């Protein structure tokens, strides 16, 4: 909605949230039971008319989420509560003002059925709301398949994808939730697949592969046309990005594309699909890749890009095209305590009501409602935690031993350095990480450990050269990628922040792989390693999906082959393990199947290597499958292993250390961490900023 927009300012503190940290003596860590709980609430969103608010809530520590629907004008009123027993609700979407489509899963077997074939079966359903809550009812609907889009411009309709019997390619249907019927929109084919759609449900972009030329193809389908137009070819050996993201609003015959176009970092370009030429560079930075923000009102502006986004250290910054969106964002950020990764999670059709979500190192995730010019707390994902007792995250920059610049993030306990250090590399490995609230890092910091998350070579968002350097001249797993992690730990030792006699590595997935590598390195800098869901045999992991990559090549195929074929394989290094090692694995892990841990543990026993191991029964690879019972078992063993097997420091386990003043700690850390590496300026090629319409800031008192 364009025009006047009303935002209520706060004249009183928002209730239910901690205030700035003060000096506290001997604060006990939170009980592990508190860390083991899953999120209290999640998926908070408004109905299209803004009159109802729905969320998922876990009422008991070992329970499953219920779907709760509230009157958005009175959150104190009793909500409608729905469960889908025996299924577990995993998510939902508003299809209309009175209809919610939900997804759910049900455990149907005790063991995985192969790589990426887990133990859950997924289903869908529709909840129809009535003015009388007792008459509201839900129906399981097998026809729903997978929801591709909720089609915000078409009430009561959603776009679904369905795999017809015997087909490897999905068909797309417009599904009418009122009449329980579906209409075929299009089908993928061996020529054009991986469709994306515009906000009205029209096929817009697709992909293909030319086996004769070994090129990836990008197709475009103009609105109103049934023909696919080839707009880009890119050789398989070219690792540049080329991603169309929509139509250029200033030139509707052109497209907006995020691409390298011969540069080290991506930029946002205007591209002519008929001449196959770039019209102009809109925005690019030399020091990192860019992404984009979409309009917060998906009903009125479903396809509009409102800003280019980029990272500087931990901070995500924006170059705005829409002045009103910028004004809304800036004002909301001024209202939210500990504003960090803040976004508008949901917005009503008229634009006047919205759910705002924030998360950051001192905010595990808080939802707010802006309605009727009042801004109020809905609830927190982790209401048991006070921001006072959580830890800050700082940026560090250092050089690896070969001179490469590396960025990292440290979660800093509220105690005095030097700290025992846990190096926690991210999984992937070819992903981007920029920690906000990280539950594992905060748990460890709460128990007195500094946590270091290195952005080792291969991490994305730092440019093409940095990403390719992990595999282009040979897989660097166990080699330079491992040096990056170790050199960051040693940098923290040199800065007086980490204790050289209390260094550990803990990781999950690829991070678990790195922990296995660390356990067998020499010279050894760590006192122990904890490997979760670890890839232990490189070729075994690669062989799970080698055939699929041959049938359906992607730009990541060569990356995966070179990485895993040419890097150090932990199974071949078992006899070199020289520190206490703890191996943890889910019994139904479909991404890194249990055979990895079974084979590795058997080899440890064969060579007489002391170790500990733990199986998390019923746990898959992913965080969403780690329930309270898994977390309690895992966290208890983790803290005990670090305190006793690794450092032999029971005082550390109890966190019996005096807290220091938060301000003085921040000052000392600021001197060490320095200014995030940037050293470049990005600039617009032309002004695309739309001035805001009338934007009124109206005062109101916060609700009690």
Please state the three-class secondary structure of 198-255 as a single string. Answer: CCCCCEEEEEEEECCCCEEEEEECCCCCCCCEEEEEEECCCCCCEEEEEECCCCCCCE
pLDDT computed for residue 403 by the predictor: 97
Return the structure tokens found at 696. 């009124």
Would the pLDDT of 631 be above 60?
Answer: yes
Rg, C-alpha atoms of the chain: 26
At residue 144 the predicted structure's pLDDT band, cuts being 50, 70 and 90, is low
Q: What is the pLDDT of residues 579-617, one digit of tens each?
A: 999 999 999 888 899 999 999 999 999 999 999 999 999
Asked whether the beta carbons of 627 and 38 are under 8 A apart, the reply is: yes
Would the pLDDT of 683 be above 70?
Answer: no
Would the pLDDT of 642 be above 50?
Answer: yes
At residue 687 the predicted structure's pLDDT band, cuts being 50, 70 and 90, is very low
Would the pLDDT of 654 be above 80?
Answer: no
Residue 646 backbone dihedrals phi, psi, to 5 degrees: -90, -60
pLDDT computed for residue 4 by the predictor: 33
| 8-12, 184-188, 481-485: the lowest-pLDDT one | 8-12
Mean pLDDT (the chain) is: 86
pLDDT computed for residue 180 by the predictor: 85
Q: What is the mean pLDDT of residues 87-109?
A: 87
Greater pLDDT, 12 or 649: 649
Greater pLDDT, 39 or 10: 39
Q: What is the pLDDT of residues 227-254, one digit of tens each?
A: 999 999 999 889 999 999 999 999 999 9
Share above pLDDT 70 across residues of the chain, in percent, rounded to a whole number? 86
Q: What is the mean pLDDT of residues 629-647?
A: 96
pLDDT computed for residue 701 by the predictor: 30
pLDDT computed for residue 653 by the predictor: 42
pLDDT computed for residue 52 by the predictor: 97
- Domains recognised in the chain with CATH numbers: 391-659 (3.40.50.1820)
- As a whole number of angstroms, the distance between CA 600 and CA 534 comes to 10
pLDDT computed for residue 113 by the predictor: 66
- As a whole number of angstroms, the distance between CA 695 and CA 306 comes to 17
- As a whole number of angstroms, the distance between CA 98 and CA 89 comes to 19
Would the pLDDT of 306 be above 60?
Answer: yes
Would the pLDDT of 561 be above 90?
Answer: no
What do you get for the CA distance between the two ends of the chain, in Å? 29
Q: What is the mean pLDDT of residues 660-678?
A: 37
At residue 133 the predicted structure's pLDDT band, cuts being 50, 70 and 90, is confident
Asked whether the beta carbons of 384 and 30 are under 8 A apart, the reply is: yes
Q: What is the pLDDT of residues 455-507, one digit of tens each?
A: 999 999 999 999 999 999 999 999 999 999 999 999 999 999 999 999 999 99
Return the structure tokens found at 653. 């386990």
- Three-state secondary-structure class, residue 428: coil
pLDDT computed for residue 467 by the predictor: 96
Q: What is the mean pLDDT of residues 116-133?
A: 82
Asked whether the beta carbons of 290 and 258 are under 8 A apart, the reply is: yes
Greater pLDDT, 105 or 325: 325
Q: What is the pLDDT of residues 203-212, one digit of tens each?
A: 999 999 998 9
The pTM of the full predicted model, rounded to 2 decimals, is 0.88
Q: What is the mean pLDDT of residues 60-73?
A: 94
Share above pLDDT 90 across residues of the chain, in percent, rounded to a whole number? 69
At residue 658 the predicted structure's pLDDT band, cuts being 50, 70 and 90, is very low
Residue 586: strand pairing partners:
616
Task: Say which residues have a Cβ less than 8 Å from residue 665's Cβ, sequence separation at least 6.
Answer: 412, 414
Greater pLDDT, 13 or 186: 186
- As a whole number of angstroms, the distance between CA 464 and CA 288 comes to 9
> What number of CA atoms fall less than 13 Å from residue 233's CA on the CB side?
8
């Amino acid at each position: 909605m364009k025009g006047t927009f009303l935002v209520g300012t706060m004249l009183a503190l928002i209730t239910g949230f901690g205030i700035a940290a003060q000096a506290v003596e001997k604060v006990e860590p939170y009980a592990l039971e508190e860390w083991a709980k899953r999120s209290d609430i999640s998926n908070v969103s408004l109905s299209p008319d803004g009159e109802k608010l729905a969320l998922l809530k876990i009422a008991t520590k070992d329970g499953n989420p219920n779907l709760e629907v509230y009157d958005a004008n009175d959150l104190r009123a009793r909500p409608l509560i729905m469960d889908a027993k025996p299924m577990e609700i995993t998510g939902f979407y508003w299809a209309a003002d009175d209809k919610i489509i939900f997804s759910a899963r049900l455990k149907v077997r005790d063991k995985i059925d192969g790589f990426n074939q887990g133990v859950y079966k997924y289903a869908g359903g529709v909840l129809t709301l009535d003015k009388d809550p007792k008459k509201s009812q839900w129906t399981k609907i097998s026809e729903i398949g997978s929801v591709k889009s909720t089609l915000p411009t078409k009430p009561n309709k959603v776009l679904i994808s369905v795999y017809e019997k015997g087909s490897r390619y999905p068909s797309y249907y417009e599904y009418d939730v009122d009449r329980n019927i579906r209409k075929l929109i299009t089908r993928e084919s061996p020529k054009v697949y991986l469709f994306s759609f515009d906000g009205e449900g029209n096929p817009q972009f697709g992909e293909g592969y030319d086996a004769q030329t070994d090129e990836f193809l990008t197709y475009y389908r103009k609105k109103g046309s049934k023909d696919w137009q080839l707009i880009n070819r890119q050789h398989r050996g070219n690792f540049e990005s080329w991603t169309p993201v929509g139509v250029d609003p200033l030139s509707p015959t052109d497209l907006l594309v995020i691409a390298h176009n011969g540069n080290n970092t991506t930029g946002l370009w205007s591209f002519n699909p008929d001449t196959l030429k770039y019209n102009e560079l809109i925005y690019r930075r030399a020091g990192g890749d860019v992404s984009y923000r979409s309009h917060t009102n998906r009903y009125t502006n479903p396809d509009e890009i409102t800003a280019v986004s980029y990272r500087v250290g931990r901070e995500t910054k924006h170059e705005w095209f829409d002045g009103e969106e910028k004004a809304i964002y800036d004002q909301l950020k001024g209202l939210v305590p500990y504003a960090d990764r803040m976004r508008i999670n949901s917005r009503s059709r008229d634009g006047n009501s919205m759910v705002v979500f924030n998360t950051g190192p001192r905010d595990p995730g808080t939802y707010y409602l802006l309605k009727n010019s009042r801004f109020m707390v809905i609830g927190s994902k982790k209401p048991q935690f006070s921001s006072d007792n959580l830890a800050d995250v700082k940026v560090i920059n250092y050089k690896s031993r070969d001179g490469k610049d590396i960025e990292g993030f440290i979660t800093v306990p509220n105690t005095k350095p030097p700290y025992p250090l846990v190096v926690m590399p991210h999984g992937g490995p070819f992903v981007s990480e920029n920690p906000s609230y990280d539950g594992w890092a905060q748990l460890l910091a709460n128990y007195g450990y500094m946590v270091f998350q290195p952005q080792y070579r291969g991490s994305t968002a730092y440019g093409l050269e940095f990403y390719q350097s992990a595999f282009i001249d040979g897989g660097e797993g166990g080699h330079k990628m491992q040096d990056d992690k170790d050199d960051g730990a040693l940098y923290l030792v040199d800065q007086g922040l980490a204790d050289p006699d209390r260094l550990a590595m803990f990781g999950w997935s690829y991070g678990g792989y790195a922990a296995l590598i660390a356990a067998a390195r020499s010279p050894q800098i760590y006192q122990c390693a904890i490997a979760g869901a670890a890839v232990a045999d490189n070729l075994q992991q690669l062989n799970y999906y080698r055939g699929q990559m041959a049938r359906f090549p992607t730009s990541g195929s060569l990356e995966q082959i070179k990485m895993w074929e040419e890097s150090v394989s932990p199974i071949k290094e078992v006899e070199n393990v020289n520190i206490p090692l703890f191996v943890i694995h889910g019994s139904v892990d479909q991404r890194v199947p249990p055979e990895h841990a079974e084979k590795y543990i058997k080899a440890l026993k064969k060579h007489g290597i002391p170790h500990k191991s733990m199986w998390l029964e019923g746990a898959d690879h992913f965080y969403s499958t780690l329930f309270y019972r898994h977390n309690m078992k895992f966290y208890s063993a983790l803290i005990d292993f670090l305190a006793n097997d690794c450092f032999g420091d029971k005082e550390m386990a109890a966190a019996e250390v005096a807290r220091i003043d938060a301000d003085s700690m921040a000052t000392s850390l600021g001197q060490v961490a320095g200014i995030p590496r940037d050293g470049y300026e990005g600039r617009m090629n032309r002004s695309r900023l739309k001035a805001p319409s009338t934007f009124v800031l109206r005062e109101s008192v916060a609700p009690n």
